[in-house]
Amino acid sequence: MAFSVKDEATDAAVRKLAKLKKTGLTDAIRMAVENEIKRSAEETPLVQRLKAIGDRYARYKKTGKKADKAFFDDLGGGL
């Protein structure tokens, strides 16, 4: 089984990783891919991260005050 890397930036990155880890190119590629698979599997899905933010926002007390539109428009430079 062979891979052909035709992108100079990818080739340079793999060689840099191999040099840092003092290993061959194949081992560097395997380590990088396995680490990315592990990181992706452990990552909290976006939906859950957004839900946590929404839940935190929902806990804020309502003040009953109205926003001053002119003030906020001015902050944005009148955009």
Q: Residue 78: pLDDT band by 50, 70, 90 thresholds?
A: low
Asked if residue 79 is part of any domain, the answer here is no
What was the pLDDT predicted at 19? 97
Residue length of the chain: 79
Asked if residue 70 is part of any domain, the answer here is no
pTM confidence score = 0.59
Asked if residue 65 is part of any domain, the answer here is no
Give Cα separations from 22 to 8, 26, 33, 38 (angstroms).
21, 12, 17, 22
Domain count, the chain: 1
The string of DSSP letters for 14-35 reads HHHHHHHHT--HHHHHHHHHHH
Q: What is the distance between the alpha carbons of residues 19 and 25, in angstroms, rounded to a whole number?
A: 9
35-70 pLDDT per residue, tens: 999 999 999 999 999 999 999 999 999 898 888 888
Range of the domain at 41: 8-59
